[in-house]
Structures are given as structure tokens and as C-alpha cells.
């Protein structure tokens, strides 16, 4: 089985004590690539260090997280820094723009700034022909309004941690080449995401941990890591009535397509 974790913050300080062991477990579990979404200048150095140490496993992006816009008078400088990264990449390749998005969970006072940041990063994704990785929390209607404006412009990307309903999935997928990131929330016992997982076409779905957050059942409450992607894969397979191998193969192929990666995994 070959899996791709399309969203992990393994460069986070939560892994400082045992990152090498986490990487070994991830390889043993069949996770052949870990996509690293960027947050802001505070953690970017650690992300690129990790990407340099594991150039075929840990693949970095460039972006500004919506909550890093909140309460930050210098957020436009952060956006300029993202643009500089794209002009002069500090590593061989940047694989995407993100994570950007809208997050009104902590505060709705910065919606205007978050929206401007999102638009700017989508434009960068179009300009550099990269996928955009979009974070949405307590803001799905607003997000849909933003994304509708890009319909027909050839945008591609991932709605990370997709947690909305099947109607919204159908609306968003019609606006571009979008796929939907399914993570630990899909395994939670309330079954809140089952309907969406059933509705999303298998070839429009990718798997993600969002580690160290959103740990899947049965390990919920612990720190999350990429090796736990197998639990998410198994849950998706159970909901869709497929074999885990089929889900692994299809979601890896989709991740390779969206991020334009060379195929791994012996196909
Ligand atoms: Zn994230």
C-alpha cells in the first residue's frame, strides 16, 4: 500500500523530540510522501530544514495561514515574503500555495484581511501554475462566494479538511479542478462526515492527517502523525464499500496529479 499524506505539519515543535522515529513509522506504514503546508515566517525555517533533510519524502509549500493574518499589523509583509519565496525558492521546488483560506472560528474581526490574503494567494497559484491548499473553518458560505469568482480560470487545488455537506462539494468542484482532503474527522464516532465521504467521487479525494492535530479514532486525543493515515484510509474504504488498497491507490494518484509528482508505488 502506498499513501500520500497531503497535509502534515511534521515540522511543528510537537515533533522536536522524536521526529526521526515518526518518519521511520511513516515509511513503515507505506506513506511515501508528506506534503508540508506553510503557516508563516515563524515556522517556515523548520519546514525548509526538514524538506532539505528528506527531499523525496517531505515536500514543502509556500503560503500564509488565515489565522496568521489575525491581529497581525504586518500581515502584508508576510504576504510579500511568500511572493519572494516563489520568485527565489530556497529549496529545489515548491509544490503548492498554502495553506491559505478563511477561519472565522477564533475571530470574525479579520474577515476582510483574510479574504484579501486568500485572493492574493489564489492569484499566485494561477501565476505560478501551482495548486492552492485551502483551509476553511466556520466559513464555508464565504469560501464558496470567493471560489465562485474563479470559475473557468483553471484554478486547481485542495479543500483541506473538507467538512461541509455534499451540496457544497458539488458547488465547489464545479468551480475548478478541486479535490477534497479527508482526515481524522472522518473517523470520529458521530459519523458526521460519512455522507460527504459517500458523495465525493473517489478520484476527487485525497487523504491527510493535519498532524499534529485531528488524530483519527481509535487514537483520538494523542498527537497525530502520518503513519495514522492508514486509519483514515480504512474508514474511507469502509464508508465507500471498497478495499483499503483501492482507496490508497486512487487517492495517491489524485495527489500526484494535483501536485504534479512523479509516480511512486510501482505502477
Ligand atoms: Zn494545516
Interval 201-258: pLDDT, tens: 999 999 999 999 999 999 999 999 999 999 999 999 999 999 999 999 999 999 999 9
Which residue from 212, 208, 230 is spatially nearest to 18, judged by alpha carbons?
212
How does strand 177-182 pair with strand 156-159? parallel
State how far the Cα of 116 lies from the Cα of 239, in Å rounded to an integer. 37
Q: Can you name the residues that pair with 36 across neighbouring β-strands?
A: 60
Please tell me the predicted confidence (pLDDT) of residue 264: 82
Q: Assign 109 to helix, strand or coil.
A: coil
188 φ/ψ angles, rounded to the nearest 5 degrees: -65, 150
d(CA 120, CA 27): 36
Q: Coil, strand, or helix at residue 170?
A: helix
- For the question of whether the overall pTM of this predicted structure is more than 0.75, the answer is yes
DSSP 146-169: HHHTTTTS--EEEETT--S-HHHH
Rounded distance from Cα 207 to ligand 1 centre (Å): 13
162 C-alpha to ligand 1 centroid (Å): 12
* Among 190, 197, 173, 196, residue whose Cα is nearest residue 251: 197
Q: How far is the CA of 201 from the centre of ligand 1 (A)?
A: 23
Does residue 267 register a pLDDT over 80? no
Domains of the chain: 3-259 (3.20.20.140)
CA of 133 to the centre of ligand 1 (A): 9
Mean of pLDDT values over 27-56:
97
**CA 146, 206, 80: angle at the middle one, nearest 5?**
45
User: What integer best gives the mean pLDDT of the chain?
Assistant: 96
Q: How confident is the model at residue 191 (pLDDT cuts 50, 70, 90)?
A: confident
Between the CA of 145 and the centroid of ligand 1 the distance, in Å, is: 22
Burial class (CB in 10 A: 0-12, 13-18, 19+), 30: middle
Q: Find the 160 Cα to ligand 1 centroid distance in Å.
A: 8
- Total count of residues recorded for the chain: 267
Provide the 8-state DSSP code for 203.
G
Condensed to tens digits (0 to 9), the pLDDT of residues 121-168 reads 999 999 999 999 999 999 999 999 999 999 999 999 999 999 889 999
Q: Which three cell numbers stand for residue 54?
A: 528528506
Residue 265 has a pLDDT of 60
220 with 244: CB under 8 angstroms? no
The SS3 call for residue 195 is helix
Alpha helices (H) in 33-87, listed in sequence order: 44-53, 75-87
Contact between residue 172 and residue 178 where contact means Cβ atoms under 8 Å apart: yes
Q: What's the mean pLDDT in 159-188?
A: 96
Residues, beta carbon < 5 Å, ion ligand 1 = 37
**CA of residue 249 to ligand 1 center, whole Å:** 23
Q: If we measure between CA atoms, which residue out of 115, 80, 84, 89 comes closest to residue 100?
A: 115
Distance, CA of 13 to CA of 195 (rounded, Å): 35
CA angle 72-74-75, nearest 5°?
A: 70
Spatial neighbors of 141 by CB under 8 A, at least 6 apart, are none
Amino acid at each position: 500500500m502506498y499513501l500520500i499524506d497531503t497535509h502534515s505539519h511534521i515540522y511543528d515543535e510537537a515533533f522536536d523530540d522524536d521526529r526521526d522515529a515518526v518518519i521511520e513509522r511513516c515509511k513503515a506504514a507505506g506513506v511515501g510522501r508528506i506534503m508540508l503546508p506553510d503557516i508563516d515566517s515563524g515556522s517556515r525555517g523548520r519546514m525548509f530544514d526538514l524538506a532539505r533533510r528528506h527531499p523525496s519524502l517531505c515536500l514543502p509549500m509556500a503560503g500564509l495561514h488565515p489565522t496568521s493574518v489575525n491581529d497581525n499589523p504586518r500581515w502584508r509583509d508576510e504576504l510579500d515574503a511568500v511572493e519572494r519565496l516563489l520568485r527565489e525558492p530556497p529549496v529545489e521546488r515548491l509544490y503548492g500555495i498554502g495553506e491559505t483560506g478563511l477561519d472565522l472560528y477564533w475571530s470574525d474581526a479579520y474577515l476582510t484581511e483574510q479574504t484579501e490574503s486568500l485572493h492574493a494567494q489564489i492569484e499566485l497559484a494561477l501565476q505560478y501554475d501551482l495548486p492552492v491548499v485551502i483551509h476553511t473553518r466556520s466559513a464555508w458560505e464565504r469560501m464558496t462566494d470567493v471560489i465562485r469568482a474563479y470559475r473557468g480560470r483553471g484554478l486547481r487545488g485542495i479543500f483541506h479538511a473538507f467538512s461541509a455537506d455534499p451540496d457544497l462539494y458539488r458547488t465547489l468542484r464545479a468551480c475548478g479542478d478541486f479535490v477534497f482532503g479527508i482526515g481524522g474527522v472522518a473517523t470520529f464516532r458521530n459519523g458526521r462526515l460519512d455522507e460527504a465521504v459517500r458523495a465525493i467521487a473517489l478520484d476527487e479525494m485525497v487523504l491527510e492527517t493535519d498532524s499534529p492535530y485531528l488524530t483519527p479514532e481509535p487514537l483520538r486525543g494523542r498527537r497525530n502523525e502520518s503513519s495514522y493515515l492508514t486509519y483514515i484510509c480504512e474508514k474511507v474504504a469502509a464508508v465507500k464499500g471498497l478495499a483499503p488498497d483501492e482507496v490508497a491507490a486512487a487517492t495517491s494518484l489524485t495527489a500526484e496529479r494535483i501536485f504534479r509528482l512523479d509516480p511512486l508505488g510501482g505502477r
